[in-house]
Amino acid sequence: MKMDKKALGILSAGHFVTDINQGALPALLPFLKEVLSLSYTMSGTILLAANITSSIIQPAFGHLSDRQPVRWLLPLSPFVACLGLSLTGLLSTYPLIVLSVIVSGFGIASFHPEGFKTAHFFTGERKATGMSIFSVGGNLGIAIGPIVILALVSRFGLPGTLGMLLPGILITALLLFHMSMLGAPVVTAHEKARGGTKKPPSRYQKVSLLLLIGVATVRAWAQFGMATYIPFYYIDYLNGNPLYAGKLVSTFLLAGAVGTLLGAPIADRWGHKKFLLVTLAGSFPFLVLFYYSGGIVSFILLGIAGMVLISSFALTTLMAQIILPQHLGIVSGMMVGFTISAGGLGVTLLGGIADIWGVPMAMKAVLLLPLIAFALAVPIKYPPEQVGMVPDSAAYEDQTMEKRDP
């Protein structure tokens, strides 16, 4: 079966619009803080509410997705995500703003497990490449979100957040128009699952999945740590230009989005686990060299580090799906929602290091995280069919495709 680029492109567009809201909220907070005279604690609570609803509860939606077909989540979720954020600039009370952020978070959380699950059936033989097409939409959405919301608020004031509703409406219409095509393999998979006996996960599956979750969590910790402590290091410690620090963070994150797309074909050729190990170990020297560099060289080294480190983002989700193909929804929720949330919480530990030993030590701690992820990845049993973990995994996918392929 060949990769369906049209389906993956549509799903990626949905991912893009959904995750614009994730990227936009932090950039919107200073405006809400000023207009409503919020404290830093109240502002932080808004982000906490967004994090809990948009990421931590994703496995719950994944569990729902595995129990029964919930195709309607694909078109509804981006609309709900955009609706919640679009209302924030129109509301005048703090509780209502928190509520609107929670609504947006539920839209984000409900899209990802169903989106990753649906994308899995359209990747064809080049699975990593196909999954990267879907994933890069979310990466770009998070990166562009601040630009979109700042443009709207700068032009129209806080009511300009209502403009976020337009992409939500457009992508919902697009997804609804193609629902029969996108939902067919998901429904077929559920029919096959009801007609057969679902084997419980083996010990090897459970251990490998837990290790993979650990890898993705530590990688997210490294990613968020770099994005958080580059500004602290250059602005607070080196007394540098805030704009320079901001450009470094943007370079790191955008290079990661490029790496997600460019690295996937290499992963399909080399093998998924080999690519994961190489990129985790390979990012370490570039991060270290960046730390001791300056000027344009620092941008080049940081861009390469971001490209290499984040290039395995879609790959780890795909590997989890292949390890546990009978539970595509919940593993997608775990690999995306849970690991990102846990990685974000890990940044709090870096704050403790910075308070006790200083910001440079926190930065050095971040540099070591890819090596920790590498150590967790080594014992993973993968691919599963070669170690007897999931002997029927290939058959599971082939049978699912029978009704879609003529």
**Angstrom distance (rounded) from CA 309 to CA 299:** 15
Same domain (yes/no): 214, 253: yes
The per-residue DSSP string of 359-389 comes to: HHHHHHHHHHHHHHHHHHHTT---SGGGTTS
The residue segments making up the domain with residue 180 are 5-195
Packing angle of the helix pair 295-310, 272-291 (nearest 10 deg): 160
Task: With a cut of 90, say whether residue 367 has pLDDT above it.
Answer: yes
Residue 327 structure tokens: 């539970």
Q: Are 155 and 189 within one domain?
A: yes
Tokens matching residue 115 = 């989106």
Counting the structural domains of the chain, the total is 2
In whole angstroms, give the CA distance from residue 129 to residue 314.
9
pLDDT at 194 over 80: no
pLDDT band at 379 (very low <50, low <70, confident <90, very high): very high
**Domain match, 45 and 136 both:** yes
Are residues 96 and 209 both part of a single domain? no
Instruction: State percent of the chain over pLDDT 90.
Output: 38
Confidence category of residue 372, pLDDT binned at 50, 70, 90: very high
Distance between CA 347 and CA 370 in Å, rounded?
15
Residue 406 lies in a domain: no
Residues with Cβ within 8 Å of 157's Cβ and at least 6 positions away in sequence, in order, are: 89
Residues 190 and 226 in one domain: no
Same-domain check for residues 386 and 253 = yes
- What letter does residue 196 receive in the DSSP assignment? S
**Shared-domain flag, residues 190 and 232:** no
Do you know the residue count of the chain?
Answer: 406
As a whole number of angstroms, the distance between CA 291 and CA 305 comes to 11
pTM: 0.77
DSSP state of 198: -
220 domain residue, yes or no: yes
